[in-house]
């Protein structure tokens, strides 16, 4: 099946620096993946019936409300959640629901002043929890020798044990945006619950790449309390942030956004917060077209089947890893071959700054990748050898502190990756030529 034509922008041709017209190869899906054409078209079509959901009487408003409820149910079904969960749409990415949870849960259980996070998190799943709690316990991901060990359950249990019941919740990524590793979040949920801590799973990098089931019927302790993701990480730009969480906990949390829609009555003296969870959490007008296109995209993903999506990506990422590890000048991060991962690989070319590699890939080969630290400074620092991080010359620091990230989407093909590997080999083989080009550009600017 050729998925490329189902997405917008996969047929883009661009001019490279050596005046060739080339097909753009998009390998930056972990930042935002490309849009699914059909869901954009449907949400465009919906605009003929556009209205605000809060209006109760006229037909278009009722239709809009029904579509939002449909999107919520589609999301719940996709993520294996039952009626004990509620879906909340917040802002335009996962950062919003993470902040909502951090603030809400810290106020809900002030006696539990500690939060447990891994040091492999995106800043959005670290800073909101950090600033709302007295104490942070970090799970390191590396052993004493600096070797990568990933999400170590023994360490998590040890830290929970030593916290004397003070951990409010464990916030963990579903899949890392640097290593691609899928965390054992169900096992972590079980441990957290044994110590009366909740669990938040940051599903930004997981939701489009592997199947998720929040509820575990056989072992309810390992069910997930909160799962968050962004529409733009699952082929839906104009992306709502999504929080799907346990109703009984959400119901106890004070709102953080106040305004129209989230109250049942207001006088100049006081107000009553709406009882219905969805009303209470949704102050103001929702991102209605974004929610509808997200519902359509998720519907599409269910038809493709997430097991097949995962298997396809496994084949591609294993192929890429095998090819890259045969090139002596390629340094792969972290220093371990991770078996359970989504389609993300981070690398550097020996003695070539990450930015130069990425520029050449873009300018000469039409390949889009991301470079630098991917909003995960502590993790990237731990992956890079100390000498590299501790360089004193400030101008060199920025050149070498960081990596190149290759990340895949449903539209990625083996041909794309073959081309990427060939391009990397050409860069290594002709690096003096490329360096000269960029020096020339610098001088002419
Ligand atoms: N968590 C992870 C794992 C991510 O990859 C990202 C985006 N790179 C975020 C959080 C933040 O997502 P957003 O920009 O949609 O808020």
Residues 131 and 268 placed together within one structural domain of the fold: yes
Total residues belonging to the chain? 445
Assess whether the C-beta atom of 178 lies below 6 angstroms from ligand 1. Answer: no
Domain of 373, in residue numbers: 4-30+305-444
Assess whether the C-beta atom of 95 lies below 6 angstroms from ligand 1. Answer: yes
Query: What spacing in Å lies between the alpha carbon of 288 and ligand 1's midpoint?
Result: 21
Query: Distance of alpha carbon 24 from its chain centroid, rounded?
Result: 23
Query: What spacing in Å lies between the alpha carbon of 201 and ligand 1's midpoint?
Result: 12
Assess whether the C-beta atom of 293 lies below 6 angstroms from ligand 1. Answer: no
For residues 380, 385, 391 and 394, what is the CA-based torsion angle, rounded to 10 degrees?
-20
Residues 99 and 141 placed together within one structural domain of the fold: yes
Assess whether the C-beta atom of 173 lies below 6 angstroms from ligand 1. Answer: yes
Q: Is residue 195 part of a domain?
A: yes
> 163: which DSSP letter?
T
Indicate the SS3 state at residue 114: strand
Residue whose CB lies within 8 A of the most ligand 1 atoms, among 31, 98, 175, 204, for a mutation test: 204
ipTM value for the complex? 0.99
Between strands 13-15 and 21-23, the pairing is: antiparallel
Last residue of a domain, one of 263, 283, 304: 304
Q: Is residue 283 part of a domain?
A: yes
Task: Calculate what percentage of the chain has a pLDDT beyond 70.
Answer: 96
Residues 193 and 122 placed together within one structural domain of the fold: yes
For residues 117, 122, 123 and 124, what is the CA-based torsion angle, rounded to 10 degrees?
-90
Mean local confidence (pLDDT), 223-252: 96
Task: Provide the domain count of the chain.
Answer: 2
Mean local confidence (pLDDT), 383-412: 79
Per-residue burial over 341-369, b if 16 or more Cβ lie within 10 Å, else e, is: bbbbbbbbbeebbbbbbbbbbbbbbbbbb
Residues 20 and 80 placed together within one structural domain of the fold: no
Residues 91 and 150 placed together within one structural domain of the fold: yes
Q: What CATH number is given to the structural domain containing 397?
A: 3.90.1150.10
Residues 365 and 289 placed together within one structural domain of the fold: no
pLDDT at residue 175 tops 70 = yes
Mean local confidence (pLDDT), 222-242: 96
pLDDT at residue 110 tops 70 = yes
Query: pTM of this prediction?
Result: 0.96
Q: Is residue 35 part of a domain?
A: no
Helix, strand and coil percent figures for the chain, each rounded to 5: 45, 20, 40
Query: What spacing in Å lies between the alpha carbon of 124 and ligand 1's midpoint?
Result: 6
Phi–psi pair at 366, nearest 5 degrees: 70, 25
Give the pLDDT score at 171.
98
Per-residue pLDDT reduced to its tens digit, 20-67: 888 899 999 999 999 999 999 999 999 999 999 978 899 999 999 999
Residues 328 and 253 placed together within one structural domain of the fold: no
Last residue of a domain, one of 257, 287, 304: 304
Residues 201 and 346 placed together within one structural domain of the fold: no
Query: Distance of alpha carbon 133 from its chain centroid, rounded?
Result: 23
Q: C-alpha distances in angstroms, 75 versus 40, 45, 125, 382?
A: 17, 21, 21, 35
What's the chain's average pLDDT?
94
Q: Which atom of ligand 1 is nearest to the CA of 176?
A: 3
Which residue's CA is the nearest one to ligand 1's atom 4? 204
Phi–psi pair at 55, nearest 5 degrees: -75, 125
Up-side HSE of residue 403: CA atoms within 13 Å toward CB? 28
Assess whether the C-beta atom of 204 lies below 6 angstroms from ligand 1. Answer: yes
Q: Which atom of ligand 1 is nearest to the CA of 374?
A: 8
Q: C-alpha distances in angstroms, 330 versus 69, 327, 368, 428?
A: 48, 6, 18, 9
Q: Is residue 18 part of a domain?
A: yes
> 334: which DSSP letter?
S
Per-residue pLDDT reduced to its tens digit, 177-188: 999 999 999 999
Q: Is residue 271 part of a domain?
A: yes
Q: Is residue 210 part of a domain?
A: yes
Quickly state the pLDDT bin for 395 (edges 50, 70, 90). Answer: low
Per-residue pLDDT reduced to its tens digit, 257-312: 999 999 999 999 999 999 999 999 999 999 999 999 999 999 999 999 999 999 99
Quickly state the pLDDT bin for 387 (edges 50, 70, 90). Answer: low
Mean local confidence (pLDDT), 208-224: 96
Last residue of a domain, one of 252, 279, 304: 304
Compute the distance between CA of residue 172 and CA of residue 228 in angstroms, rounded to an integer.
11
Assess whether the C-beta atom of 129 lies below 6 angstroms from ligand 1. Answer: no
Query: What spacing in Å lies between the alpha carbon of 176 and ligand 1's midpoint?
Result: 10
Residue whose CB lies within 8 A of the most ligand 1 atoms, among 32, 89, 95, 372, for a mutation test: 95
pLDDT at residue 337 tops 90 = no
Give the pLDDT score at 129.
98
Compute the distance between CA of residue 64 and CA of residue 55 in angstroms, rounded to an integer.
9
Residues 273 and 351 placed together within one structural domain of the fold: no
Residues 331 and 218 placed together within one structural domain of the fold: no
Assess whether the C-beta atom of 93 lies below 6 angstroms from ligand 1. Answer: yes
Kind plus residue range of the DSSP H or E element containing 419: helix 414-429
Q: Is 291 exposed, middle or buried (0-12, 13-18, 19+ CB in 10 A)?
A: buried
pLDDT at residue 336 tops 70 = yes
Cite the beta strand spans of 324-419 per DSSP E.
Answer: 330-333, 344-349, 367-368, 370-372, 403-407
Residues 110 and 254 placed together within one structural domain of the fold: yes
Between strands 263-266 and 344-349, the pairing is: unpaired
Q: Which atom of ligand 1 is nearest to the CA of 95?
A: 16
Per-residue pLDDT reduced to its tens digit, 317-332: 999 999 999 999 999 9
Per-residue pLDDT reduced to its tens digit, 283-293: 999 999 999 99
Give the pLDDT score at 389.
61
Indicate the SS3 state at residue 371: strand
pLDDT at residue 189 tops 90 = yes
Indicate the SS3 state at residue 415: helix
Query: Distance of alpha carbon 130 from its chain centroid, rounded?
Result: 19
Compute the distance between CA of residue 148 and CA of residue 176 in angstroms, rounded to an integer.
13
Q: Which atom of ligand 1 is nearest to the CA of 124?
A: 10
User: 88-92, 138-142, 212-216, 437-441: which has the minimum mean pLDDT?
Assistant: 437-441
Q: Is residue 227 part of a domain?
A: yes
Q: Give start and end residues of each alpha helix (H) in 36-181.
A: 37-46, 59-78, 95-108, 127-131, 153-162
Assess whether the C-beta atom of 234 lies below 6 angstroms from ligand 1. Answer: no
Give the pLDDT score at 442.
66
Compute the distance between CA of residue 176 and CA of residue 123 in angstroms, rounded to an integer.
12
For residues 382, 386, 392 and 394, what is the CA-based torsion angle, rounded to 10 degrees?
-40
Compute the distance between CA of residue 445 and CA of residue 441 in angstroms, rounded to an integer.
6
Q: What CATH number is given to the structural domain containing 74?
A: 3.40.640.10
Phi–psi pair at 44, nearest 5 degrees: -65, -45
Compute the distance between CA of residue 120 and CA of residue 387 in angstroms, rounded to an integer.
20
Phi–psi pair at 438, nearest 5 degrees: -75, -30
Phi–psi pair at 403, nearest 5 degrees: -145, 175
Compute the distance between CA of residue 117 and CA of residue 125 in angstroms, rounded to an integer.
8
Quickly state the pLDDT bin for 142 (edges 50, 70, 90). Answer: very high
Give the pLDDT score at 2.
84
Residues 379 and 286 placed together within one structural domain of the fold: no
Q: Is residue 432 part of a domain?
A: yes
For residues 279, 282, 288 and 293, what is the CA-based torsion angle, rounded to 10 degrees?
-100
Quickly state the pLDDT bin for 392 (edges 50, 70, 90). Answer: low
Compute the distance between CA of residue 160 and CA of residue 300 in angstroms, rounded to an integer.
40
Quickly state the pLDDT bin for 359 (edges 50, 70, 90). Answer: very high
């Amino acid at each position: 099946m050729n998925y490329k034509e189902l997405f917008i922008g996969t047929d883009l041709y661009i001019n490279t620096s050596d005046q060739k017209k080339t097909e753009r190869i998009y390998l930056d899906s972990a930042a935002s993946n490309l849009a699914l054409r059909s869901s954009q078209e449907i949400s465009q079509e919906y605009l003929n019936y556009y209205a605000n959901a809060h209006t109760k009487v006229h037909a278009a408003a009722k239709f809009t409300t029904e579509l939002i409820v449909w999107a919520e149910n589609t999301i719940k079904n996709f993520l294996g959640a039952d009626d004990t969960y509620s879906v909340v749409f917040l802002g335009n990415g996962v950062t919003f629901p993470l902040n909502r949870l951090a603030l809400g849960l810290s106020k809900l259980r002030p006696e539990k002043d500690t939060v447990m996070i891994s040091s492999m998190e995106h800043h959005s799943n670290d800073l909101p929890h950090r600033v709302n709690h007295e104490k942070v316990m970090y799970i390191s991901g590396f052993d004493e020798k600096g070797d990568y060990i990933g999400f170590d359950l023994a360490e998590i249990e040890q830290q929970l044990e030593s916290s004397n019941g003070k951990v409010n919740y464990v916030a963990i990524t579903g899949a890392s945006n640097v290593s691609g590793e899928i965390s054992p979040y169900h096992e972590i949920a079980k441990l957290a619950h044994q110590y009366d801590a909740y669990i938040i799973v940051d599903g930004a990098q997981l939701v489009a790449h592997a199947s998720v089931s929040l509820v575990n019927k056989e072992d309810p302790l390992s069910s997930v309390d909160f799962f968050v993701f962004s529409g733009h990480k699952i082929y839906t730009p104009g992306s709502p942030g999504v929080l799907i969480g346990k109703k009984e906990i959400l119901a106890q949390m004070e709102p953080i956004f106040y305004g129209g829609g989230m109250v049942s009555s207001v006088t100049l003296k006081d107000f009553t917060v709406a009882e219905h969870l969805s009303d209470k959490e949704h102050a103001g007008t929702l991102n209605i077209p974004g929610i509808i296109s997200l519902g359509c995209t998720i519907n599409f993903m269910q038809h493709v089947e997430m097991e097949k999506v995962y298997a396809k990506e496994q084949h591609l990422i294993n192929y890429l890893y095998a090819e890259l590890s045969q090139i002596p000048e390629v340094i792969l991060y972290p220093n371990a071959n991770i078996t359970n991962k989504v389609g993300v690989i981070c690398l550097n070319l020996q003695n070539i700054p990450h930015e130069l590699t990425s520029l050449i890939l873009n300018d000469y080969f039409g390949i889009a990748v991301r470079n630098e630290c991917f909003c995960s400074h502590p993790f990237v620092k731990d992956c890079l050898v100390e000498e590299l991080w501790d360089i004193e010359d400030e101008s060199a620091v920025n050149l070498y502190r960081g990596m190149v990230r290759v990340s895949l989407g449903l539209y990625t093909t083996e041909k794309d990756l073959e081309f990427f590997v060939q391009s990397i080999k050409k860069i290594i083989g002709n690096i003096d030529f490329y360096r000269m080009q960029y020096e020339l550009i610098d001088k002419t600017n």
